[in-house]
Structure 1
Amino acid sequence: MKSYIHALFVLLMLFVWAAPSSGWTRIQPYTAAFIRDNDLWITSGTQEKRITTGEYIRNPKWSFDGKWVAFTKGKEQQEVWAYHTVTKSLRRIGEGENVQWSPKYSILAFQTNNTLRIANVDTPATPIITTIADQIGNYAWNPSGNGLLVSTLSKLLPNGKWEDIYLYNMRLEAGSSAPNKELLYRISNQTDDFFAVLTSTFKWSPDGKWIAFIAIPTASLSADDNTLCLLSADGKTFIKIGNMLHNTNWFNWAPKSDKLAYIAGVGREATSNKKLTVVKEPFPLNQRSYTPDGRVDTDFTWRDNHTIIASRATEAQWTSNPDKRPLPELVFIDLDTGVQAKLTAPPTGYGDYYPLFVEDGRKLSWIRTNRSTAEVMLSSPDGKHMHVWIPDLTLGTNYYERWNWSEVFQPYNTSTN
């Protein structure tokens, strides 16, 4: 009886304290969280502020209203922390990783090993934390922010086969003693042409009808080949779209249409066989690649439903000498006409990565690096009037020229929050 009352209280208080506020703090223009010298910094307007000192910080994530920045602390064993931008206070949430904010509440989800937990950080004292489910491979908040879609972690059975992967909707309801758990779909993990033991996070189409995710095989296989999948929101239709690397920044929906762009291609090297591809209904037959022969695309961002900015380099066979690997520039792609144009021309020895539109699309940001140093650039949407926005950025991790810049740079109010 005591455990029932405690669970009821926790779920009720999660939504009481986390209710959307009508008195949000006004966010200054050009606001971003970033990592410099392994510490968390925030830039807002023309001011930079150092938040931590002498730590190892990664993965900054903004809350929906800009009041909080969550991040991970520690290189080996990670802890989840949150910084309150109004009171300038830091809160330790607990051990964990894979941090995601609710899109509409001050509730933070994270994983501790394979256990999914949520924390209401917007409380007067210690954050309220509750366990949602165990043996979770991955998850995402639903667009309403009142529940999560989770995938189970497949286990190897004594007979040598792997368990199927189950996708569940976990709805959080105030007044309920536990999340409302409902099976959405079961993925048969091993067929002649398909094998997966876990999934990536999930991304909903703008109309909420489709859910995109990557189906991931075992570690040795996933380094080279994974499957991009679509599932209808009612769980009735499952479609395999194509093969790609395990990089959640490499698949994204158009802002207001059913077009899904992804970087297609197998092989762990980002220097070859990586093609920007757009698929739309009827899935999966209606696909088109926009990467010219002899070139590779890696990072990209949607400007609107008809145009994409991509990071593009000359295709090349892998070499262990970094100086011989081609560096990318930014290009503009009109999906309707097929017209493509170069936006940037980085200096010799530098490449342009990770384009993002900020300030409600009025500015384009990206990372410029020579693989030893990095800075965030800013320009008008057409690439003109460019200048350095954030100098001395800590380098993201690099695996065969596949850079992870989201772990060191997060502007406020973008689709990556």
Structure 2
Amino acid sequence: MKKSKLRLWTVMAIFFLIGGGLSTPVFADQPAITVTLNGQILELPEPPRIQRDESNYLWLIVPAREISNALGASVAWDSAASAATIVKGDQTIILKPGDRKVWENGSQVELATPPQIINDRLQVSLNFLASALGGRVKWDQGASVAQITIISQPVQLPEPERIEPAAFDARVAFTSDGHLWLVDGRQADSAPIRITAAGPVEIVGWSSNGEWLAYLQSDISDEYASKQYIWVVKADGTGAIQLDERPVYITPSWSPTENLLAYTTQTPQEGYIPDGNLKISSFKTGVVATTTLWPQNSEIIESLAWAPDGQSLAISLPRNEKQPLRIDRITLKGDHINLLTLDEAGKMENEIYTRAATGLKWSPDGYCLAYYLKPNSGSLSADGVAIQVLNMPQKKPIDLGGGLAYLQWFDWAPDSSQLAYIAGGGREATTHKRLHIFDVKTGQITDCGQTEQVDTQPRWLSAPANGIFFCRGTETLGWEGQEQFGVLVPGQRIWHRTADGKELAVTNGPVDTADYAPHLSPDGQGLLFLRLTAYNCGSLYYQPMAGGAPKELIRGVSGEPGYYGNYYPEWINIY
């Protein structure tokens, strides 16, 4: 449920010349920073500066009157109201120092950090302001340059449309223009049904028997300030229910055996303050019943994963002042035992330490648990973390290297003999990422990557002997800083790696398209996949395993490309 978009991990801020004043500390040894607009250096009245906030994130502060004017906007300061108004065409933004809530065209948006006066200047998030005024910001760390690019008018996204009238064996949930849609492919000619009316959504997934679909609905469109609330809807698109009045903290998870949904919540007020709880909603009787398995104000749960038998969950408890990092098992009766303890208790000021395990994923036999180890630095975590597997019989963790902490980049073989995962450092998902396979019995790790190729989204077939699907294309960073770009990895296709190590592209298509999200069809006879025609839209296709031309099933599937091109949250979910 983490926020997405192709944006900087280091959030920017800007300010403009007004009266009054407060002081805020900055780094004394920061490098000289340049700001450009469409490649041209902007002359600013004082040098840009970097600040560190209480969460250890970095912020770039630059004069905003010049930035606003450069983007074609006018700026006015109302001394009586202590507010700034920025206007460009039909776009109006109102900011007040010290207030996170700003007004954009009559709608209130909550920023991650409040505007504040520094040396007689007001600062506010550059990403927010640049986006509102038709620009986008990219940070070049090596050159210490903040690059602003003017964005042209966005392309109109196509409306969802079923292209293949014949029945196909799948129920499909997908997003389009921020909304949730459902299609029952088993019924010939059944049209897509729109489920949500407002607020961006994120698909959680189908219940074990396919009767319910869970999804997260945001309260506002600003991805940095929004809260996500857990909803469920019946497979036929009726009976949508909000399960909890409080927003969720981490992505909820369905039991693999029953209609049980596990989730944990946070405060609805500003900031991200976990409630320290674990709730289980039951849909067994057709009536939703929610119980609290982990009491309110207990320890924070950073990740959770149902055991294969559905009788317990693995939960990740982060290192804090009193406790070290732990992974525990908690049963549906509330009993819990420790599975893994790392390092010591206590937070270390101005030091980096391993804070929490995330991305927990059980092997189907319940003997192994894969996870990522994330430090207490968001910037370091964004560029790669340690990957481990906990072998329960041996009671020891096994190091598998490093990679980006995406749960979807783990996939266990159906017989639990192997783990497929994507390894490689750097936050960009389109370069230096390679498919690896870990053999549980021998401990051998096989690097399946190829030179100058990038891999993503591994997905085992129904048996290890049948091999594994994954996406592969030519690695690139050509999309960075570009506007109205096409697909991020042109020519990316779905590949099949067999048990003996042979690899073959399963899909083929125009070089200006890219294939993602491989799913073996429920009947095992074909491959369902997402073909993108642009970075933010595409169609669901079906490729027969026996060969032949692919069929376009649903057009108008759309979503965000995710954090540095990871394409998460997923746009489609198939039952």
Instruction: Report the TM-score range of the alignment, normalised by the length of the smaller protein.
Output: 0.7 to 0.9
Would you say 1:202 and 2:360 are equivalent positions?
Answer: yes
* 5+ long unaligned stretches in structure 2: 1-167, 267-273, 346-351
Report Cα offsets for 1:111-142 as digits up to 9, x if no partner.
Answer: 21343221123456553232425311111111
Counterpart of 1:258 in structure 2: which amino acid? S
Aligned to 1:363: 526
CA distance in 2 between counterparts of 1:108 and 1:323 reads 37
Task: Kindly provide the CA deviation profile for residues 148-188 of structure 1, in whole angstroms up to 9, marking residues without a partner as x.
Answer: 11110223x4xxxx952111111113xxxxx0121222122
Alignment of 1:128 onto 2:290: yes
Aligned pair partner of 1:320 in 481, 489, 511:
481
| Correspondent of 1:105 among 228, 234, 258 | 258
C-alpha distance 186-254 of structure 1, shift in aligned 2 (>3 A)? same
2 CA distance for matches of 1:29 and 1:253?
Answer: 24
The yes-or-no answer on 1:187 pairing with 2:349 is no
1:347 is paired with a residue of what secondary structure? coil
Alignment partner, residue 147 of structure 1: 312
CA shift, 1:105, in A, is 1.8
Does structure 1 conserve the Cα–Cα contact (< 8 Å) formed by 2:307 and 2:366?
no
Partner of 1:80, secondary structure, is strand
Change (3 A) 1:153 1:349: same
Query: Counterpart of 2:464 in 1: which secondary structure?
Result: coil
Structure-1 residue corresponding to 2:373: 215
What per-residue deviation string (whole Å, max 9, x for no partner) do you get for residues 366-412 of structure 1?
11112132211111125633111221112144222221152x21101
Aligned 8 A contact 1:106 1:121 in 2? yes
CA distance in 2, matches of 1:87, 1:291: 41
Distance (Å, rounded) in 1 between the aligned partners of 2:427 and 2:344: 22
**Greater mean alpha carbon deviation, residues 314-323 or residues 217-226:** 314-323
| Equivalent AA in structure 1 for residue 404 of structure 2 | L
SS of alignment partner, residue 112 of structure 1: coil
1:253-332 to structure 2, matched below 5 A, reads 253-282=412-441, 284=443, 286-303=444-461, 304-306=463-465, 307-317=467-477, 319-321=480-482, 322=485, 326-327=489-490, 328-332=492-496
1:71 maps onto 2:235 in alignment: no
The percentage of counterpart residues that share the same residue type is: 26
70-79 vs 303-312, greater mean Cα deviation: 303-312
- By how many angstroms is 1:49 displaced? 2.2
Distance of 2:373 and 2:527 partners within structure 1: 31
Task: Render the CA deviation track for 1:302-334: whole Å, top value 9, x for unaligned.
Answer: 123142222111123564335595321222222
Instruction: Give the Å deviation of 1:232.
Output: 1.9
Structure 1, unmatched stretches of 5+, are 1-27, 174-178, 413-417
Q: Matches of 2:286 and 2:421 in 1, distance apart?
A: 42
Partners of 1:241 and 1:283 within 8 A in 2: no
**Aligned counterpart in structure 1 of residue 175 of structure 2, from 21, 31, 35:** 35
Q: Judging changes above 3 Å, is the alpha-carbon distance between structure 1 residues 312 and 63 closer, same or farther for their aligned structure 2 residues? A: same
Q: Is the 8 A contact 1:93 1:127 kept in 2?
A: no
Structure with the greater alpha carbon radius of gyration: 2
The one of 50, 57, 69 equivalent to 2:194 is 50
Q: CA RMSD in A?
A: 2.6
**Contact 2:411 / 2:419 at 8 angstroms: preserved in 1?**
yes
Q: Select 2:385's aligned residue among 201, 220, 226.
A: 226
Distance in 2 of aligned mates of 1:361 and 1:152: 38
Aligned-partner SS, 1:266: coil
Return the alpha-carbon distance in structure 1 between the equivalents of residues 445 and 397 of structure 2. Answer: 17
Q: Is the CA contact (8 Å cut-off) linking 1:189 and 1:195 kept in structure 2?
A: no
Deviation at 1:265, TM superposition (A): 0.6
Q: Corresponding residue for 1:339?
A: 502
Quickly say closer, same or farther: Cα 1:212–1:289, change in 2 above 3 A: same
> Secondary structure at the residue paired with 2:330?
strand
1:377 is aligned to 541
Residue matched to 1:404: 568
Match of 2:234, as an amino acid? H
The residue type paired with residue 320 of structure 1 is G
What number of residue pairs does the alignment pair up? 371
| 1:185–1:235 contact (8 Å) kept in structure 2 | no
Offset from partner CA, 1:264-296 (integer Å, 9 cap, x none): 111111222111111103564x11111211211
Q: Do the aligned partners of 1:184 and 1:235 also contact (CA within 8 Å) in 2?
A: no
